[in-house]
Amino acid sequence: MDVTGRAPQRVARAGLMRTFQTVRVYERLSLRDNLLIAAQQFDDAGWVDELFRTVRYRRAVSAAQTRARELIDLIGLARYLDAEAGILSYGQKKLVALAAALMPRPKIVVLDEPVAGVNPTRIREVEEILRRLNAAGETFLIVEHNVEFITNLCHHVIVLDQGRKLAEGTAAEVHRDARVLEAYLGVPPEMALAEMEGAA
């Protein structure tokens, strides 16, 4: 489905969610409430349902509460369930943003620099969480400069330089691509190829 030019809310309702490089959470709200807000725009209950506390409204609230708890458990922050998000570290806030993006059960989640500014221990934690989610059927498109993170995690890699595609394939394939080596390591293609052939 081509979503070019569509309003953000229509894109989200079509099943495409995203996180941002600069983490965004509601600092004064609890982790639970951060996730419930993320789910609110996707349930079927309208303002009339909320006003009269209809069965539809109560069902939506119950489903969102259950989903929020599952995701907070998944990201390893259950002990902070009712704590203000502002007390969390930067890396933990990134995990909350990931969980919020997953609340409506999207078809695909775009992660913009999910481990930028995150310490190595938290990076491994994020990697393991994403691996588990992917094994459970979640699909991710990751934009990231951390080559080791991408290499360890992604099945398919596209390398861009100044907005143009340099290489595409498995992590191993793009690591051997002379154009990638030149763009990111400053090694001329001929030298890169010679080094690779010598190492073979």
The single residue listed with the structure tokens 């609230």 is: 61
Domain count for the chain:
1
HSE-up of residue 146 (Cα within 13 Å, Cβ side): 22
Give domain status of residue 63, yes or no. Answer: yes
Asked if residue 129 is part of any domain, the answer here is yes
Residue 195 lies in a domain: no
DSSP code of residue 3: -
Contact 173, 167 (CB under 8 A): yes
Per-residue pLDDT of the chain (200 residues; tens, 9 = 90+): 788 899 988 898 889 999 999 998 999 999 999 999 999 888 888 888 888 889 999 999 999 999 999 999 999 999 999 999 999 999 999 999 999 999 999 999 999 999 999 999 999 999 999 999 999 999 999 999 998 999 999 999 999 998 999 999 999 999 888 888 888 767 666 665 565 555 55
Q: Is 189 contained in some domain?
A: no
Examine residue 164 and state whether it is found in any structural domain, yes or no.
no
CA distance 24 to 41: 17
Q: Whole-prediction pTM value?
A: 0.88
CATH number of the CATH domain containing 100: 3.40.50.300
Look at residue 51 and tell me if it is in a domain. yes
Domain contains 190? no
Residue 39 placed within a domain:
yes
Domain that holds residue 30: 8-154
CA dist 145 → 5, 67, 109 (Å)? 27, 31, 18
